[in-house]
Amino acid sequence: MKPIKLKINTKTQKYSIIIGSNLMFNISKIIRDNSINFKKCLVVIDKNISNKTISQIKKSLNRKKIYIHFFKASEINKNINNVNKILDILLNKNFSREDCLISVGGGITGDISGFAASLFKRGLKFINIPTTLLSQVDSSIGGKTGVNTKYGKNLIGSFYQPNLVISDIQFLKTLPNREVICGYGEILKHSLIANKNFFNFLNRNSKKIINLKSPFIEKAISESCKIKKNIVEKDEKEKNLRKILNFGHTFAHAYEASLGYSKKLNHGEAVILGMKTALSFSLKNNLLKKDEYFLINNHVTNSKLPSNIKKFFKTQDLKKIMSFMLKDKKNYSDKISLVLLKKIGSPIINKEYDKKNLSLFLKKELSN
């Protein structure tokens, strides 16, 4: 199947997303074809990437001066100390703004690499090679970079668009099913906030997509990327429309932080649980009709996505969850800002609710 090329045009950067199979053999050609020139590069690689893939990347970039930095990707390691380690290498090896940083890994690796790229001499060239389904359909598009702190998730960061994104489907075949499910959650989110026809496609083909069957997986990735592309192009810095991409995320980030970013619940699973909570809250507040709620709910169940927050939290966790929701970066007052759903394809942004209202709702969700 011929690679799919999507063009992203934001106010700060124009770049391409290349989606296809076995692209690692042709990195140099893809870079040349997209008019990106540099003499040396630092490749930040997730430690989970196989030696065979690392050899392919080195071979494809053999005409460049290459430095390799291995990074153990986890939410706990997504911190300012690991950004400083990357910056230290760039400074030590005397990189210029015309050189390049290449990220090979999932969303966490891309986030800290992109943040380091944005800080170094106020910005050097950045190429993102996302290796998980979640990063291919979400974090690699749109230029959000950042790190976690003890106060919450992604509270320190920047908007910094890459020069190129290369999404190789071959990487997905190495992922455990749990990781594929996480990426599918973001694909589902994109359909819910933007396109009922795409949701119907997912409803018919979710098992084929989760099993990485061609051409269903390629279509799911490209359609998902198109939705995010259209939103990011209209609102790069999340002033208004781009907020819809946070559907389910206020709950999700609080769930992750409450568990100390442990492996019990990873980001994609938290997003699925967060969307499920946001759907329940939308129904309770008479924003979403019952038939649409049950249509989505049945899809979550039939696709075997995580759906029960009681598996992870008890009512005594409520205070901790609420404290993280109050610190969420999307809040502009002492109320909590949520993205909710009116119907599939029609999200609602800037809905604010007080702590007591949300606390009572979550208490019921955790005790029912």
pLDDT of residue 152: 86
Q: What is the distance between the alpha carbons of residues 170 and 168, in angstroms, rounded to a whole number?
A: 5
DSSP state of 68: E
Query: What pLDDT score does 332 carry?
Result: 77
Give the pLDDT score at 334. 83
CATH architecture assigned to 178-367: Up-down Bundle (1.20)
CATH 3.30.930.10 fits 4-174, yes or no: no
Q: Where are the domains of the chain?
A: 4-174, 178-367
pLDDT of residue 153: 87
**Core vs surface per residue 197-215: b (16+ CB within 10 A) or e:** ebbebbbebbeebbebeee
User: Tokens 């980001």 sit at which residue?
Assistant: 267
CA 87 – CA 113 distance, rounded (Å): 9
What's residue 331's pLDDT? 77
Q: How confident is the model over 117-127, as pLDDT tens digits?
A: 999 999 999 99
Residue 329 pLDDT = 75
Q: What are the pLDDT digits (tens) for 311-353?
A: 999 999 999 999 999 988 777 778 999 999 999 999 999 889 9
| Under 8 Å between Cβ of 132 and 184 | no
Q: What pLDDT is recorded for position 333?
A: 78
pLDDT at 1: 76
pTM over 0.85: yes
Q: Which residues in the chain land under pLDDT 50?
A: none
Instruction: Say what the pLDDT of residue 118 is.
Output: 98
As a whole number, the mean pLDDT across the chain is 94
Candidates 153, 16, 36, 167; CA nearest to 104 is 167
